[in-house]
Amino acid sequence: MYRSTLTVLVLVVAFSPASPWSQSAHAQASAIDITSADIQTVLKYVGKDGGGIDRQIRVVDLGKYNVAVGILHRSATKDTGSVTGLAHAQVTEVYYVVSGSGSLVTGGTILQPKSFPLDGDLVRVLVGPTISGIVQGGYRRPVSTGDIVIIPAGVPHGFAEIADHVTYLSIRPDAEHLLPAGYVHPALKK
């Protein structure tokens, strides 16, 4: 899994608009490792302590932008005919499916959108300003272990159905520096 995680991180940096050669003096001076053990440690907190399905592992300052890495786990759901989804206003996400499978919907329109509280962890730590609601339309596709999906900022997304579970890394390029640079999940500070 470590090699796959590293591959995804390299792809995110390679496709990001900022050149690593033009980073500011405040940028990270060396590589940052997120080990398989780190991911497993943080994954234990997903869904616990009232925090939902998503946990940020780290947020790294790369000068012109931040890169955040989170781990998400979703349990089985049935297809009810409607998809509750999210759209993050300024942060792109790259999903790398670690295990499991599901039916992911991207695109379309969020009906009667509701904004997440600006002082909540979802906005402050995970993905910046976000709306949620029922997704109308969009593209539905199966995703499973090893798949990568790039979801640009502003694109609605949500799972329509999950047979057993889906666990996935989310790599989040943050060109606006919305996410807290230097953040490390508390479980990794022990």
Encode pLDDT of 8-56 as tens digits. Answer: 444 444 444 444 444 444 555 689 999 999 999 999 887 665 557 889 9
Residue scoring higher pLDDT (48 or 95): 95
Number of domains in the chain: 1
| Residues spanned by the domain of 180 | 2-188
Cβ atoms within 10 Å, residue 157: 23
pLDDT tens readout for residues 146-163 = 999 999 999 999 999 999
- C-alpha 91/C-alpha 88 separation (Å) is 6
Model confidence, pTM: 0.83
Inter-residue contact 118 to 141 (CB < 8 Å): no
Query: What's 118's domain CATH number?
Result: 2.60.120.10
